[in-house]
Amino acid sequence: MLELRLVQGNLLKKVLEAVKDLVTDANFDCSSTGFSLQAMDSSHVALVALLLRSEGFEHYRCDRNVSMGMNLNNMAKMLKCAGNDDIVTIKADDGSDTVTFMFESPNQDKIADFEMKLMDIDSEHLGIPEAEYHAIVRMPSSEFARICKDLSSIGDTVVISVTKEGVKFSTRGDIGNANVVCRQNTTVDKPEESTTIEMHEPVSLTFALRYMNSFTKATPLSSTVTISLSSELPVVVEYKIAEMGYIRFYLAPKIED
Amino acid sequence: LMQQGALGNFFVHT
């Protein structure tokens, strides 16, 4: 028996909007730790890792570890039917081939059940080792989204370079080239508007902008984004989900032929 | 020319 009650139901709606374009089908794993997902895109270039910790749920019952295969587009369709202020409960019986999403309006005057068919998914699970990153950039998530969107109108790839001058996002295309430099800026009043750069070594890596733009669909989940870079390691683009966990995107760099 | 790397080059299957 599984029963997970999430008062901030719209978090789940935002999570689905953040991942459904990158991954079609995925196994959601439920354990005493929390509700999690790890899935790669079809070309095995990008990976999404989600964790919603059990403590973040108002009620969390998971009698045994369960893996539930879901089509993310179908799940997003069902969650779109929840109101933004609704409480969402995920329910599944042991051995069942369906999962139920229950939506309760805040004043309990409307309760809806949406039952979705589960699917068998042969998912590949990757071990992601703890790594020391050469540079960690923390910046407003909206700023990062703006830069990725702007640069993708010029070119297909972005070079992210971190030096002691700051973090530089560069692209080039048929019509020309573009560079955006963000400097460390901690003097602003609000911490969510600051940019911090923790650099152990200068690093410069090239990535496909198509994926970066897809990751920025998670922007509504967090006011800040953390970009961790190491030469010859996939970049980690992390959006913290307040009091619950995180959504992390890993993207393999482009490498010299 | 740059080639797209794959995650399998960096992470191992578990």
pLDDT tier at A103, thresholds 50, 70, 90: very high
Q: Decide if B13 and A252 are in contact by the 8 Å CB cutoff.
A: no
At A188 the pLDDT is 76
At A93 the pLDDT is 94
Torsional sign, CA A68, A70, A72, A78: negative
What residues are paired with A69 via a beta bridge?
A: A27
**Residue of A193 and A202 predicted with greater confidence:** A202
Per residue in A75-98, pLDDT (tens digit) is 999 999 999 999 999 999 998 999
Per residue in A217-237, pLDDT (tens digit) is 999 999 999 999 999 899 999
Task: Indicate whether B9 pLDDT > 80.
Answer: yes
pLDDT tier at A208, thresholds 50, 70, 90: very high
Amino acid of residue A19: V
pLDDT tier at A191, thresholds 50, 70, 90: confident
Closest CA to A62 of A83, A24, A89: A89
At A72 the pLDDT is 97
* Chain B residue numbers touching A231 (CB-CB < 8 A): none
Lowest-confidence pick of A211-220, A244-253, B2-11: B2-11
Amino acid of residue A153: S
At A123 the pLDDT is 80
At A11 the pLDDT is 96
Question: Above pLDDT 90, what percent of chain A?
Answer: 91
Q: Decide if A40 and B4 are in contact by the 8 Å CB cutoff.
A: no
At A124 the pLDDT is 82
Q: Decide if A157 and B2 are in contact by the 8 Å CB cutoff.
A: yes
Angle between helices A72-79 and A9-19 (to 10 degrees): 150
**ipTM of predicted complex:** 0.95
**Average pLDDT for residues A44-65, to the nearest whole number?**
97
Q: Which residues of B touch A (CB under 8 A)?
A: 1-14
Q: Decide if B4 and A234 are in contact by the 8 Å CB cutoff.
A: no
Strand ranges in chain A using DSSP code E only, listed in sequence order: 2-6, 25-30, 34-40, 46-53, 59-62, 66-71, 87-92, 98-104, 111-117, 126-127, 135-140, 157-163, 166-173, 176-182, 196-199, 203-208, 224-229, 235-241, 245-251, 254-256
pLDDT tier at A187, thresholds 50, 70, 90: confident
**Average pLDDT for residues A104-132, to the nearest whole number?**
94
Per residue in A150-176, pLDDT (tens digit) is 999 999 999 999 998 899 999 999 999
Nearest CA distance, A127 vs chain B (angstrom): 6
